Structure 1
Amino acid sequence: MKRSNRIFARCLALMAISAALQLSPAARAETDMQIQEKALRAREQSQLGDGMDHSAHGASRTAGRFRGVFYGYLPCQEKDCDGIKMTLSLNAKNNYLLVIQPAKPLNRESFEKGKYQWDDNEGILLLAPNREAPQRRLAIKDESTLLYLTGDGRHLSGEQDRYLLRRSDQADHREVHIH
Protein backbone atom coordinates (compact mmCIF):
# COMPACT_ATOMS: atom_id res chain seq x y z
CA MET A 1 0.00 0.00 0.00
CA LYS A 2 2.84 2.36 0.88
CA ARG A 3 4.50 1.63 -2.46
CA SER A 4 1.37 2.43 -4.47
CA ASN A 5 0.94 5.68 -2.49
CA ARG A 6 4.53 6.72 -3.36
CA ILE A 7 4.01 5.88 -7.04
CA PHE A 8 0.73 7.80 -7.02
CA ALA A 9 2.42 10.82 -5.34
CA ARG A 10 5.24 10.80 -7.92
CA CYS A 11 2.78 10.59 -10.81
CA LEU A 12 0.73 13.41 -9.32
CA ALA A 13 3.85 15.58 -8.91
CA LEU A 14 4.93 14.82 -12.48
CA MET A 15 1.48 15.77 -13.81
CA ALA A 16 1.54 19.02 -11.81
CA ILE A 17 4.96 19.96 -13.19
CA SER A 18 3.83 19.07 -16.72
CA ALA A 19 0.73 21.23 -16.39
CA ALA A 20 2.74 24.14 -15.02
CA LEU A 21 5.20 23.95 -17.93
CA GLN A 22 2.40 23.87 -20.48
CA LEU A 23 0.73 26.93 -18.98
CA SER A 24 3.91 29.02 -18.70
CA PRO A 25 5.08 30.98 -21.75
CA ALA A 26 8.01 29.50 -23.63
CA ALA A 27 11.37 30.83 -22.60
CA ARG A 28 13.03 32.85 -25.33
CA ALA A 29 16.74 33.34 -25.14
CA GLU A 30 18.10 36.63 -26.36
CA THR A 31 21.13 36.65 -28.61
CA ASP A 32 24.32 38.26 -27.36
CA MET A 33 23.78 41.07 -29.86
CA GLN A 34 20.30 41.82 -28.45
CA ILE A 35 21.64 41.79 -24.90
CA GLN A 36 24.50 44.14 -25.82
CA GLU A 37 22.16 46.55 -27.57
CA LYS A 38 19.69 46.52 -24.67
CA ALA A 39 22.50 47.23 -22.18
CA LEU A 40 23.86 50.01 -24.40
CA ARG A 41 20.44 51.68 -24.69
CA ALA A 42 19.89 51.43 -20.92
CA ARG A 43 23.33 52.93 -20.23
CA GLU A 44 22.68 55.79 -22.68
CA GLN A 45 19.30 56.51 -21.12
CA SER A 46 20.77 56.60 -17.63
CA GLN A 47 23.63 58.88 -18.73
CA LEU A 48 21.50 61.23 -20.82
CA GLY A 49 18.61 61.28 -18.40
CA ASP A 50 16.30 63.01 -20.85
CA GLY A 51 14.50 59.91 -22.14
CA MET A 52 14.84 61.03 -25.76
CA ASP A 53 15.93 58.83 -28.64
CA HIS A 54 18.96 60.47 -30.25
CA SER A 55 19.49 57.87 -32.96
CA ALA A 56 17.94 60.07 -35.67
CA HIS A 57 20.66 62.73 -35.45
CA GLY A 58 23.33 62.77 -38.15
CA ALA A 59 26.90 61.59 -37.53
CA SER A 60 28.35 65.10 -37.66
CA ARG A 61 26.05 66.34 -34.87
CA THR A 62 26.66 63.35 -32.58
CA ALA A 63 30.18 62.38 -33.56
CA GLY A 64 31.64 63.16 -30.14
CA ARG A 65 29.02 60.95 -28.47
CA PHE A 66 28.62 58.33 -31.18
CA ARG A 67 28.78 54.78 -29.89
CA GLY A 68 27.54 51.29 -30.63
CA VAL A 69 28.56 47.83 -31.80
CA PHE A 70 29.62 47.46 -35.43
CA TYR A 71 30.01 44.19 -37.36
CA GLY A 72 31.73 43.43 -40.63
CA TYR A 73 33.16 40.59 -42.67
CA LEU A 74 36.21 41.89 -44.54
CA PRO A 75 38.38 40.26 -47.22
CA CYS A 76 41.50 38.42 -46.06
CA GLN A 77 44.84 38.41 -47.89
CA GLU A 78 46.34 35.42 -46.05
CA LYS A 79 46.57 31.91 -47.48
CA ASP A 80 43.59 29.63 -46.64
CA CYS A 81 41.63 32.58 -45.22
CA ASP A 82 38.10 33.23 -46.49
CA GLY A 83 37.62 36.53 -44.67
CA ILE A 84 37.94 38.39 -41.39
CA LYS A 85 35.04 38.80 -39.00
CA MET A 86 35.34 42.12 -37.12
CA THR A 87 33.34 43.36 -34.17
CA LEU A 88 34.00 46.95 -33.05
CA SER A 89 32.41 48.20 -29.85
CA LEU A 90 32.54 51.96 -29.19
CA ASN A 91 31.47 53.08 -25.73
CA ALA A 92 30.56 56.37 -24.08
CA LYS A 93 34.00 57.11 -22.60
CA ASN A 94 35.74 56.96 -25.99
CA ASN A 95 37.05 53.45 -25.29
CA TYR A 96 36.82 50.75 -27.91
CA LEU A 97 37.15 46.99 -28.13
CA LEU A 98 37.95 45.41 -31.48
CA VAL A 99 37.58 41.64 -31.90
CA ILE A 100 39.13 40.13 -35.02
CA GLN A 101 38.52 36.53 -36.09
CA PRO A 102 40.01 35.22 -39.36
CA ALA A 103 37.96 32.58 -41.18
CA LYS A 104 40.69 30.00 -41.62
CA PRO A 105 41.77 26.69 -40.12
CA LEU A 106 43.19 26.99 -36.61
CA ASN A 107 41.90 30.54 -36.29
CA ARG A 108 42.29 32.55 -33.10
CA GLU A 109 40.38 35.61 -32.09
CA SER A 110 42.47 38.63 -31.30
CA PHE A 111 41.33 41.49 -29.09
CA GLU A 112 42.42 45.10 -29.21
CA LYS A 113 41.48 47.80 -26.71
CA GLY A 114 42.15 51.50 -26.87
CA LYS A 115 40.72 54.98 -27.27
CA TYR A 116 38.85 56.34 -30.26
CA GLN A 117 38.29 59.87 -31.50
CA TRP A 118 36.23 61.44 -34.25
CA ASP A 119 37.51 63.92 -36.81
CA ASP A 120 34.38 65.66 -38.07
CA ASN A 121 36.31 67.72 -40.62
CA GLU A 122 37.85 64.66 -42.28
CA GLY A 123 34.95 62.28 -41.52
CA ILE A 124 37.37 59.80 -39.93
CA LEU A 125 37.20 57.59 -36.85
CA LEU A 126 40.69 57.04 -35.41
CA LEU A 127 41.37 53.98 -33.23
CA ALA A 128 44.46 54.30 -31.01
CA PRO A 129 45.31 50.95 -29.34
CA ASN A 130 46.52 50.77 -25.72
CA ARG A 131 49.48 48.57 -26.64
CA GLU A 132 52.08 49.30 -29.24
CA ALA A 133 50.26 48.67 -32.47
CA PRO A 134 49.47 50.82 -35.48
CA GLN A 135 46.45 53.11 -35.37
CA ARG A 136 43.43 52.14 -37.42
CA ARG A 137 41.27 54.50 -39.45
CA LEU A 138 37.68 54.15 -40.58
CA ALA A 139 35.70 56.57 -42.72
CA ILE A 140 32.33 57.65 -41.35
CA LYS A 141 29.81 56.94 -44.11
CA ASP A 142 26.80 57.65 -41.89
CA GLU A 143 25.78 57.12 -38.27
CA SER A 144 25.44 53.38 -38.73
CA THR A 145 28.15 52.55 -41.29
CA LEU A 146 31.95 52.74 -41.15
CA LEU A 147 34.41 52.02 -43.98
CA TYR A 148 37.71 50.35 -43.02
CA LEU A 149 40.74 52.23 -44.46
CA THR A 150 44.51 51.75 -44.61
CA GLY A 151 46.58 52.98 -41.67
CA ASP A 152 47.29 56.27 -43.45
CA GLY A 153 43.62 56.83 -44.33
CA ARG A 154 43.49 55.67 -47.95
CA HIS A 155 40.82 53.38 -49.40
CA LEU A 156 41.73 49.70 -49.63
CA SER A 157 41.88 48.13 -53.09
CA GLY A 158 38.80 46.45 -54.50
CA GLU A 159 35.10 46.95 -54.02
CA GLN A 160 34.59 49.32 -51.07
CA ASP A 161 31.34 47.63 -49.93
CA ARG A 162 33.49 44.66 -48.86
CA TYR A 163 35.16 46.82 -46.16
CA LEU A 164 32.03 48.07 -44.38
CA LEU A 165 31.23 47.69 -40.69
CA ARG A 166 27.57 48.26 -39.86
CA ARG A 167 26.09 49.11 -36.50
CA SER A 168 24.32 46.10 -35.04
CA ASP A 169 20.84 47.65 -35.16
CA GLN A 170 21.31 48.26 -38.92
CA ALA A 171 23.14 45.05 -39.92
CA ASP A 172 21.20 42.23 -41.56
CA HIS A 173 22.61 39.71 -39.08
CA ARG A 174 25.84 39.04 -37.28
CA GLU A 175 26.07 35.32 -37.81
CA VAL A 176 28.90 34.33 -40.13
CA HIS A 177 29.51 30.83 -41.40
CA ILE A 178 33.17 30.01 -40.83
CA HIS A 179 34.78 26.75 -41.90
Structure 2
Amino acid sequence: MKVAPTCLPAATIRAFESRGHDQTVDLGRALGRRLNHAITLFLIGDLGSGKTAFAQGLAQGLDVPPSYTVTSPTYTLINEYPGRLPFFHVDLYRLPEPVDADDIGLLDLFDEEGIVAVEWAQRLHPADRPAQRLELFFGIAGDASRSIRIIAYGLGPSDLLNDIDNWLPPSP
Protein backbone atom coordinates (compact mmCIF):
# COMPACT_ATOMS: atom_id res chain seq x y z
CA MET A 1 0.00 0.00 0.00
CA LYS A 2 1.41 3.32 -1.04
CA VAL A 3 1.19 6.22 1.43
CA ALA A 4 0.73 9.57 -0.27
CA PRO A 5 2.36 12.67 1.20
CA THR A 6 0.11 15.49 2.30
CA CYS A 7 0.68 19.16 2.99
CA LEU A 8 -1.08 18.98 6.39
CA PRO A 9 0.47 17.46 9.53
CA ALA A 10 0.60 13.65 9.41
CA ALA A 11 -1.33 13.42 12.66
CA THR A 12 -4.30 15.25 11.11
CA ILE A 13 -4.65 13.77 7.61
CA ARG A 14 -3.24 10.73 5.85
CA ALA A 15 -3.77 9.48 2.33
CA PHE A 16 -3.36 5.91 1.11
CA GLU A 17 -3.59 4.15 -2.20
CA SER A 18 -4.93 0.60 -2.12
CA ARG A 19 -4.24 -1.60 -5.12
CA GLY A 20 -7.01 -4.05 -4.32
CA HIS A 21 -9.58 -5.42 -1.93
CA ASP A 22 -6.98 -7.16 0.27
CA GLN A 23 -5.00 -3.95 0.83
CA THR A 24 -8.19 -2.10 1.77
CA VAL A 25 -8.97 -4.86 4.29
CA ASP A 26 -5.35 -4.62 5.55
CA LEU A 27 -5.72 -0.89 6.21
CA GLY A 28 -8.92 -1.49 8.18
CA ARG A 29 -7.24 -4.29 10.16
CA ALA A 30 -4.21 -2.11 10.93
CA LEU A 31 -6.39 0.69 12.23
CA GLY A 32 -8.61 -1.72 14.17
CA ARG A 33 -5.58 -3.13 15.99
CA ARG A 34 -4.67 0.37 17.17
CA LEU A 35 -8.11 1.18 18.57
CA ASN A 36 -8.30 0.90 22.33
CA HIS A 37 -11.16 3.26 23.17
CA ALA A 38 -14.56 4.24 21.80
CA ILE A 39 -14.48 6.22 18.57
CA THR A 40 -16.69 6.94 15.57
CA LEU A 41 -15.49 6.48 12.00
CA PHE A 42 -17.36 8.00 9.07
CA LEU A 43 -16.88 6.06 5.82
CA ILE A 44 -17.67 8.28 2.85
CA GLY A 45 -17.56 7.24 -0.81
CA ASP A 46 -19.45 5.95 -3.80
CA LEU A 47 -20.77 2.43 -4.25
CA GLY A 48 -17.89 -0.01 -4.71
CA SER A 49 -15.25 2.34 -3.33
CA GLY A 50 -14.09 0.02 -0.51
CA LYS A 51 -16.10 1.10 2.55
CA THR A 52 -17.36 -2.39 3.40
CA ALA A 53 -13.97 -4.02 2.71
CA PHE A 54 -12.40 -1.53 5.12
CA ALA A 55 -15.10 -2.32 7.73
CA GLN A 56 -14.36 -6.04 7.35
CA GLY A 57 -10.68 -5.40 8.10
CA LEU A 58 -11.62 -3.11 10.98
CA ALA A 59 -13.64 -5.97 12.48
CA GLN A 60 -10.64 -8.30 12.14
CA GLY A 61 -8.41 -5.77 13.89
CA LEU A 62 -10.97 -5.50 16.69
CA ASP A 63 -10.86 -9.30 17.13
CA VAL A 64 -14.44 -9.90 16.01
CA PRO A 65 -14.62 -13.73 15.93
CA PRO A 66 -14.23 -15.17 12.42
CA SER A 67 -17.59 -16.95 12.84
CA TYR A 68 -19.24 -13.53 12.29
CA THR A 69 -19.60 -12.48 8.66
CA VAL A 70 -19.26 -8.71 8.40
CA THR A 71 -21.51 -7.42 5.65
CA SER A 72 -22.92 -4.00 4.88
CA PRO A 73 -26.08 -3.51 7.00
CA THR A 74 -27.94 -1.81 4.15
CA TYR A 75 -31.28 -3.40 5.06
CA THR A 76 -30.81 -3.76 8.83
CA LEU A 77 -29.26 -0.29 9.33
CA ILE A 78 -27.02 -1.36 12.25
CA ASN A 79 -25.11 -4.60 12.89
CA GLU A 80 -23.37 -5.15 16.23
CA TYR A 81 -20.41 -7.49 16.62
CA PRO A 82 -18.48 -8.61 19.72
CA GLY A 83 -14.73 -8.02 19.90
CA ARG A 84 -12.11 -6.34 22.09
CA LEU A 85 -14.51 -3.42 21.89
CA PRO A 86 -18.08 -3.73 20.63
CA PHE A 87 -18.20 -2.96 16.91
CA PHE A 88 -21.28 -1.20 15.51
CA HIS A 89 -21.46 -1.16 11.69
CA VAL A 90 -24.03 1.32 10.37
CA ASP A 91 -25.19 1.89 6.79
CA LEU A 92 -27.25 4.99 5.93
CA TYR A 93 -27.50 4.27 2.18
CA ARG A 94 -31.25 3.65 2.10
CA LEU A 95 -32.19 6.66 4.24
CA PRO A 96 -33.15 10.06 2.79
CA GLU A 97 -30.84 13.03 3.28
CA PRO A 98 -30.37 14.54 5.72
CA VAL A 99 -30.66 11.57 8.08
CA ASP A 100 -32.14 12.46 11.46
CA ALA A 101 -29.49 10.82 13.64
CA ASP A 102 -31.57 11.17 16.79
CA ASP A 103 -34.63 9.49 15.25
CA ILE A 104 -32.66 6.34 14.39
CA GLY A 105 -30.74 6.23 17.69
CA LEU A 106 -27.41 7.10 16.13
CA LEU A 107 -26.61 9.89 18.60
CA ASP A 108 -27.02 7.39 21.46
CA LEU A 109 -24.79 4.96 19.59
CA PHE A 110 -22.05 7.61 19.39
CA ASP A 111 -22.02 7.58 23.21
CA GLU A 112 -21.55 3.79 23.44
CA GLU A 113 -18.25 2.36 24.62
CA GLY A 114 -17.39 0.83 21.30
CA ILE A 115 -16.33 1.45 17.73
CA VAL A 116 -18.98 2.90 15.42
CA ALA A 117 -18.32 2.77 11.67
CA VAL A 118 -20.93 4.64 9.62
CA GLU A 119 -21.13 4.02 5.87
CA TRP A 120 -22.68 6.86 3.81
CA ALA A 121 -22.02 9.26 6.70
CA GLN A 122 -22.24 12.19 4.28
CA ARG A 123 -26.02 11.83 4.70
CA LEU A 124 -25.74 13.09 8.30
CA HIS A 125 -26.22 16.72 9.21
CA PRO A 126 -22.82 18.24 10.15
CA ALA A 127 -24.18 19.17 13.60
CA ASP A 128 -24.69 15.45 14.35
CA ARG A 129 -21.00 14.59 13.99
CA PRO A 130 -19.08 13.90 17.20
CA ALA A 131 -16.16 16.25 17.87
CA GLN A 132 -13.70 13.36 18.08
CA ARG A 133 -13.91 11.15 15.01
CA LEU A 134 -12.16 9.82 11.96
CA GLU A 135 -13.55 10.63 8.53
CA LEU A 136 -12.44 8.30 5.75
CA PHE A 137 -12.98 9.30 2.13
CA PHE A 138 -12.90 6.43 -0.37
CA GLY A 139 -12.39 7.07 -4.08
CA ILE A 140 -12.20 4.74 -7.06
CA ALA A 141 -8.79 5.25 -8.68
CA GLY A 142 -8.90 2.38 -11.20
CA ASP A 143 -10.36 -1.10 -11.71
CA ALA A 144 -9.06 -2.37 -8.36
CA SER A 145 -7.27 0.72 -7.00
CA ARG A 146 -8.80 2.92 -4.34
CA SER A 147 -7.69 6.19 -2.80
CA ILE A 148 -8.40 6.48 0.92
CA ARG A 149 -7.97 9.75 2.76
CA ILE A 150 -8.31 9.78 6.55
CA ILE A 151 -8.93 12.98 8.48
CA ALA A 152 -8.75 12.89 12.28
CA TYR A 153 -10.74 15.31 14.38
CA GLY A 154 -9.64 15.58 18.01
CA LEU A 155 -6.38 14.72 19.75
CA GLY A 156 -7.08 11.02 20.38
CA PRO A 157 -8.05 10.26 16.77
CA SER A 158 -5.02 12.19 15.49
CA ASP A 159 -2.75 9.99 17.58
CA LEU A 160 -4.22 6.91 15.89
CA LEU A 161 -2.81 8.01 12.55
CA ASN A 162 0.77 8.40 13.77
CA ASP A 163 2.98 5.76 12.17
CA ILE A 164 0.02 3.81 10.78
CA ASP A 165 2.13 2.79 7.78
CA ASN A 166 4.35 0.88 10.26
CA TRP A 167 1.31 -1.26 11.07
CA LEU A 168 0.55 -2.08 7.44
CA PRO A 169 1.85 -5.20 5.73
CA PRO A 170 4.34 -4.47 2.93
CA SER A 171 2.98 -4.00 -0.58
CA PRO A 172 3.52 -6.94 -2.95
Same-fold call, TM cutoff 0.5: no
Q: TM-score, normalised by structure 1?
A: 0.30
